[in-house]
């Protein structure tokens, strides 16, 4: 079987939630002997072809990014030229939607990672393109029942939908001697204070401004890993407080130590733009309790309120502060929820399970 993915970007040039899913899935496909190509846009570099962990990556030269969409005119022709038994499109990605809808010589499957939210004002223009891709697709994978029930874009296409939860390579987050040593170093740097960790791009829908408001008066250090366009505003909002650390970009090999060094993991997202939250799975693999917001997406499927963590209403800084304080004050409760989170992740959200389910999806599409 030969699979050709069509995405926005691909590591190591760019790392986001969608890209993390592609990399995790492709590792499983390669492990199963499946030929994998990814056709994507280049990120701040010329286009070209390279290989990443057994995956042929074809990067289309891009003129820039407009409304979160790379402007890469050559991507459709590059996709058509790549041989494969089927095309796997990763949405949201209007240019990819357009390219895949016109690649008519082979079956199309789509992973609907999330709705188009921040650029919804463009829907009159991009909506017909998205729907054309959905009409041509044989099957559409989506990460959770919650997002399927609330999706506006998939209305009328429910019969094509298959729920396939995302997953991670659990072994990557094991407490190895190196990770344990690095975690102890981080704890020492943070003066062994209780730690609330957030990991993600610093963009508006992530809700880090609400976390900063909630952290006022909280007897804990808030560590935020990531960079993005909101960084300057968030730093100004923090006002140089000693209980807030902006860790910036952390390399992949260092990230497990940050998870193991924290007491509670927080994802305070504000909108359905947070369709799943891969970082939740990473924190769960490290045995950490979660505090998340009540969103009608995969976030609510992953974090089970009262079992793997606590759930509050989006944008409610007071409720967020109370939930964080409750877990920090009751260490046995936090440990119990963290242990439950680790079990749930290992049982339901592994890359191996995701790969197995996608291979079955491909076979159904090819039948």
Which DSSP string corresponds to 136-152?
H-SEEEES-HHHHHH-S
In whole angstroms, give the CA distance from residue 247 to residue 224.
6
In this structure, are residues 260 and 283 in contact, taking their beta carbons and an 8 Å threshold?
A: no
Average pLDDT of adjacent 10-residue blocks, the chain of 367 residues: 96 87 96 97 90 96 84 94 97 92 92 85 85 96 94 95 97 97 97 96 96 94 96 95 95 96 98 93 98 96 97 98 97 97 98 97 97
CA–centroid distance for 68 within its chain:
16
Give me the pLDDT at residue 124, please: 85
Extract the runs of DSSP E, i.e. beta strands, from the chain: 2-6, 35-41, 48-52, 55-60, 64-66, 69-71, 86-91, 108-112, 139-142, 161-163, 195-199, 221-225, 244-248, 264-267, 290-293, 309-312
Backbone angles phi, psi at 114, to 5 degrees: -165, 170
Q: Which two tokens stand for residue 47?
A: 């286009």
For the chain, which domains are there?
Answer: 2-167+350-366 (3.40.50.2000), 170-348 (3.40.50.2000)
pTM over 0.85: yes
Give me the pLDDT at residue 104, please: 83
**In angstroms, what CA-CA distances link 259 with 64, 237, 262, 266?**
34, 24, 6, 11
Give me the pLDDT at residue 177, please: 97
For residue 67, give the 3-state DSSP assignment. coil
Give me the pLDDT at residue 66, please: 80
Q: What is the DSSP letter of 303?
A: S
Crossing angle, helix 278-285 and helix 331-348, to 10 degrees? 110
In whole angstroms, give the CA distance from residue 128 to residue 132.
6
Give me the pLDDT at residue 20, please: 92
């Amino acid at each position: 079987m030969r699979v050709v993915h069509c995405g926005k970007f691909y590591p190591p040039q760019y790392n986001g939630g969608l890209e993390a899913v592609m990399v995790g899935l492709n590792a499983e496909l390669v492990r199963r002997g499946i030929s994998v190509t990814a056709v994507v846009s280049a990120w701040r570099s010329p286009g070209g072809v390279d290989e990443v962990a057994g995956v042929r990556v074809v990067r289309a030269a891009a003129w820039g990014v407009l409304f979160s969409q790379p402007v890469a005119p050559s991507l459709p022709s590059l996709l058509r030229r790549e041989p494969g038994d089927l095309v796997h499109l990763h949405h949201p990605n209007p240019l990819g939607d357009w390219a895949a809808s016109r690649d008519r010589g082979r079956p199309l499957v789509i992973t609907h990672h999330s709705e188009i939210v921040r650029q919804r004002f463009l829907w009159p223009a991009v909506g017909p393109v998205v729907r054309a891709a959905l009409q041509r697709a044989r099957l559409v994978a989506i990460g959770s029942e919650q997002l399927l029930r609330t999706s506006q874009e998939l209305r009328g296409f429910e019969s094509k939908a298959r729920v396939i939860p995302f997953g991670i390579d659990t072994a990557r987050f094991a407490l190895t001697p190196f990770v344990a040593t690095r975690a102890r170093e981080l704890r020492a740097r943070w003066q062994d204070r209780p730690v609330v960790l957030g990991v993600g791009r610093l963009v508006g829908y992530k809700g880090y401004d609400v976390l900063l408001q909630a952290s006022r008066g909280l007897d804990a250090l808030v560590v935020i890993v990531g960079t993005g366009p909101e960084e300057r505003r968030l730093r100004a909002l923090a006002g140089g407080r000693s209980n807030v650390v902006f860790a910036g970009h952390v390399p992949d090999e260092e990230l497990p130590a940050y998870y193991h060094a924290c007491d509670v993991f927080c994802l305070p997202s504000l909108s359905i733009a947070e369709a799943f939250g891969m970082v939740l799975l990473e924190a769960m693999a490290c045995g950490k309790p979660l505090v998340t917001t009540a969103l009608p997406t995969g976030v609510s499927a992953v974090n089970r309120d009262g079992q793997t963590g606590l759930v509050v209403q989006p944008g409610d800084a007071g409720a967020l502060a109370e939930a964080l304080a409750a877990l920090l004050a009751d260490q046995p409760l936090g440990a119990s929820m963290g242990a439950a989170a680790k079990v749930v992740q290992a049982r339901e959200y592994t890359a191996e399970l995701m790969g197995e389910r996608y291979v079955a999806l491909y076979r159904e599409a090819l039948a």
